[in-house]
Structure 1
Amino acid sequence: MNKLTVPAKIENLQKVMDFLGDQLDSVDYVMKARLQLELSIEEAYVNIVNYAYGLEEGEVIICCNVGESPLKVTMQFIDYGKQYNPLENEDPDISLSAEEKEIGGLGIFLIKKNVDDISYKYRDGKNILTIQKKLNDF
């Protein structure tokens, strides 16, 4: 797996997206699948930046592996922030109007709808969120 470590700051989002782009430079993919993956990666990173460390500073380690048969990207987000499993929350009720909806939860819901697999574990003081997406299946 290739690895990128950045301070958990919103201004590093472009570095994260460039890292993903670098991993995909040499492969052929379905553009819709890549866009879904990019949305999911952005949501995951922004959630870590906004919630993992509170007012303290920290870092995010992003690991990426591109498998070829089928073409599948696995991305792991690792942080040392407070333990939090975003997959334990109930999905928001998207049938409600904007005024009726509670704040929060939509980002993880979008990730779940746009990737093939998402998992979470807490190990050795680390939150580890793993996202997998096939890029040539549509």
Structure 2
Amino acid sequence: MSAYRDAGLGLLGDPMRRAIFETLARRPSSVGELAEQLPISRPAVSQHLKALKDGGLVVSHAEGTRRIYRLDPHGVAALRSWLDGVWEHALADFHKFAEQAVADEHTHQSAGGSHDHTDPGDRGQDHRQHRA
């Protein structure tokens, strides 16, 4: 999975490879079909497809004299699994942060005692008087 993650993320950082990846997500295509849709030459499309294939994100098969490219479900699943793990950790960390913030607020309120019951206007007035 690490190889898919490292290769996939790096490969998809290129805008043209990302465009090819997104096109193949909609439907399998040949080099010629991709070149017709993109502002790059057939040789450039072939180079990007080779990189995506080497990175485990694309597979191809022969269909007559053409090669048809499509996304590799295993590579995409591995990349998605890694992203899901990152997201789960982020949500868990956020949950811990939120719980700690609530606990800190409760601790602050109980330690404040009678200070929490003063008129906010009085506190503002006292604060200004101490500055002067």
TM-score of the superposed pair, with normalisation by structure 2: 0.25
What TM-score, normalized by structure 1, do the two folds share? 0.24
Higher strand proportion (structure 1 or 2): 1
Q: Which has the higher contact order (CA 8 A, sep 6+)?
A: 1
Greater helix share, structure number: 2
The structure that has the greater radius of gyration is: 2
